[in-house]
Structure 1
Amino acid sequence: MSKNAVLVINCGSSSLKFSLIEPISGEVMVAGVAERLLSKHAFVKVAFKGSKETTPLIVPFDHQVAVNFIVEFLHENNLVECLSAVGHRLVHGGEEYSTPTLIDDVVKYSIEKLSKLAPLHNPVNLIGVNAAEHAFPDLPQVAVFDTAFHQSMPAKAYIYGLPYSLYEAHGIRRYGFHGTSHYFVSKQAADLLGKPFTKTSVITAHLGNGCSITAIDNGKSVDTSMGLTPLEGVIMGTRSGDLDPGIIFHLIEQLNYTPEQVSSLLNKESGLLGISQMSNDCRTIEEAIINDQDERANLTMDIFCYRIAKSIASYMASLSHFDGLVFTGGIGENSDLVRSRIVNSLHLLNIHLDDNKNTDIRFGKSGLISTESSQHCWVIPTNEEQVIAEQTYQLIVGDK
């Protein structure tokens, strides 16, 4: 039995995703998710050896209990001896972390300090780190940061039009997120092209409840749509994306919103949900368009797709050459309607879809969806867990 397996942990505020992956072969030995943590309805779903099981969690229903369940499951199935390390998804690494990093007390302190830049993400990511350290005290713990891939952006792409002192003193700049996803699918695109990654230039569109667009020039991220926080950029499931900053002052000064209410409005009540007044789920909006001919749903989809297309087109200014466009993420991989509406606005870039391929390549399928005369356009399912497992293993092997 292989002793190279990496336990990948992605800890959210009320969930904990995990996978046991053999990093060399890419085999997923176990996959699961603990959901509704911190509530009495908490449960764990596990896929193992072709079967899936759901188990309720006992009190106190927290992340440590979820990790304890994983540990017990691994022991019961004689999988602990396979483990070589634990790899953690960390959202914000600031400017300090551009590569996978062994976690120690200094790194944990840095992650905690960076929580001011990602208050919704870094603290809960640390919960997962601490829980895994307690469960596996003898294993290396490795942090793989969402922001790391974007550390290659030039200053002209990440500096805001604010007093430079705010960047120097407080690190207020654009960082970008979804880095492991953009890295994975752009490398896959290079393989499909038969080109070295360092000579491949693509635009990647990670579209899900959170959305980001990235320009990758010769294997390096040179611009991306998210900024200091994941709120900047295109319209998302519940996030507003880019807007006039004056709206914030208007909400506070004229409409008597508190800062907390503004934050909730922009992060949790806007985007697809806010415009449609229906749902943040793209599938629900699509059904309303197709089945009910709902005008607001149609407008919501038009706005969503137009903003994404506009962002993609703008990134031509960032590239030395253009090899193609990649769709990924839950919406990008599964919605032929969204892909069609986006690409219909990109005909001047010579991107045209083959309607049959676009309709067929969904639900885990991967491949080219463009016509023969078009610039390349692919659907490539993302695999952030595989990236974390590979990079974790490469780091610990290099350290031995």
Structure 2
Amino acid sequence: MLHGKKILLGVCGSIAAYKAAPLTRLLVKEGAEVQIIMTPSALPFIGPLTLATLSNRPVLHQYADTQSGEWHNHVALGLWADALLVAPATANTLAKFAGGLCDNLLTAVYLSARCPVYLAPAMDLDMYQHPSTRANLERLQGWGHHLIAPETGELASGLYGQGRLAEPETIVAYLQQQMGQSARLRGKKVLITAGPTYEGLDPVRFIGNHSTGRMGFALAEAAAAQGAEVVLVSGPSQQQVTHPGIRRIDVRSAEEMYQACRAHYRGQDCVIFAAAVADYRPVKQEAQKIKKKEDRLQLELEKTVDIAATLGREKQGQLLVGFALETDNELAHARQKLEKKGLDLMVLNSLQDAGAGFGHATNKVTILDRSGDEQAYPLKSKEAVAADILEHIIQKLHAS
């Protein structure tokens, strides 16, 4: 499924660099064209000759060949690739990527690349858990990069924990899923909601929530990568769209989101309600800023439109997917919403699970369907969660 794909493989200075050899072999076996770029610190860990032999291409590790004078054009390399895979990605290189630093050929190619970026970190337990590393990974994922999470096991330091580079077979399987099956939604139309809604109190204040929109945007990118024509209706969000197959519509309130969804509802093959829509809004939005006068301020609220339930009653063959963020009796409440709103799939996550919910680059979900089946997944990046959800959707669409 990777046949003919052009892959830049970045290899950084880690003991896990030895895995670049079997990884290269597997990629070439799948029919990919592999160009390896090593950082200077990677050279002591594995010889370029080994990787050059396996990839059938000279390994690059500097801007120019000092003997021949040949310049290795980082811009041309970035434009050549269908994917940039960095495995192993060290804490140092991740920090450079996140900060826009450019002091070697790999970082220069990264800044020039227009293709999807896949990061497979490898480092010791405490380095991976350090707040700076976590912040860098969250920032990179916020830019749409894919995280191939490290595995848990015995580390080179002798400690046990998360930080081991994913096995080459795991990395290749992830690439196959992301790149090799890019047409399974071709000809399909997908409508997705994302982010929070802001319900105005006055010109400067609103009722909202902590949703960043990252899950909805990840779903939009994943669906577009599978060939779908995507309409993304987003509440206020700092997330950015990168795929040209996504049409983004920005809204603010629950009513605006409902109207935008209703306008595009007909003719959709699938609708994914991933937004965190406010349940209530102020009955009256003041025209002027509310002044601080009394010790207490009483607000009168009214229900907003339930977008999923309302459109569910108007269902005309669309596959409908909802999200449920729960804090107690999670499965029972999610199953109840699934039936009540006429949905086909429900994606459940709980605020009781560390790393799940709002404000995280990761999520931990359980996917339920109307037949009573449910499938729980471990904590993953939201991009990986989006791939899992899309797999269920594709199976449902193909079965109908």
TM norm. shorter chain > 0.5? no
Answer 1 or 2: which has greater helix percent.
1
* Bigger-Rg structure (1/2): 2
Higher relative contact order (CA 8 A, sep 6+): 1
